[in-house]
Amino acid sequence: MDRLVAASSRERSLLSTHKVLRNTYFLLSLTLGFSALTATASTVLHLPAPGLLLMLAGFYGLMFLTYRLANSPAGILAAFAFTGFLGYALGPLLSMLLASGAGEMIMLALGGTALVFFACSAYVLTTRRDMSFLSGMMMAGFVVLVVAVIANLFLHIPALSLAISVLFILFSSGAILWETSNIINGGETNYIRATVGLYVSLYNIFVSLLSILGVMRSN
């Protein structure tokens, strides 16, 4: 009897994990599509770039709102507002690249971002390896990134900007590994939070790849 209860419990846990993973990928695809639409509208309409204060307020404010509402249907609307805002913020950068004839950079960055995401996700989903050991390294990496970004606001060193972009790609790749592992091992049971986490990682990788490709093109 105990074995039957344990098997039934494991089966329910597995079904719950698959449901969270399925819902996460479905919502992620929808928010990525919505973000692409707002980015396209921002590019076509030549909307002004948000200033630093507006960008920080929109990013952290909408992210906090999404996490706060993650356990209710309103959290889905907050997730779309968050990803739509970030898509709009990409518009001025994409407009500048297209105006300079660097449209191929956008496609390369998109392809590179997709490759990183599928590689990291496939590795965790096939091996089902527990990537919780990355949490400590990611915290240290986050501190290094914050210090480097703040320092570069004053120093404006091209080599430091390039290093920051590389670090963002490494950090975000680790975040995809950790988040996916957290879902399949039952650590994350809310697909809205998981979606936002994966989206931010993809966004950071895409912007960082654009930055690196821009440096290579200028050289």
**Buried b / exposed e along 5-42 (16+ C-beta atoms within 10 A):** eeeeeeeeeeeebeebbebbbebbeebbebbeebbeeb
CA distances from 179 to 86, 175, 203 (A): 20, 6, 15
Domain count, the chain: 1
Across the chain, mean pLDDT equals 89
pLDDT at 134: 87
Compute the distance between CA of residue 195 and CA of residue 94 in angstroms, rounded to an integer.
24
Domain that holds residue 89: 2-218
* pLDDT at 6 > cutoff 50: no
pLDDT in tens, 104-152: 899 999 999 999 999 999 999 999 888 988 888 888 888 999 999 888 8
Give this prediction's pTM.
0.91
pLDDT at 11: 54
| pLDDT band per the 50, 70, 90 thresholds, residue 214 | confident
When pLDDT is averaged across residues 31-40 and rounded to a whole number, the result is 96
pLDDT in tens, 80-104: 999 999 999 999 999 999 988 888 8
Compute the distance between CA of residue 82 and CA of residue 78 in angstroms, rounded to an integer.
6
pLDDT at 36: 96
* pLDDT at 219 > cutoff 80: no
When pLDDT is averaged across residues 196-203 and rounded to a whole number, the result is 96
Burial class (CB in 10 A: 0-12, 13-18, 19+), 3: exposed
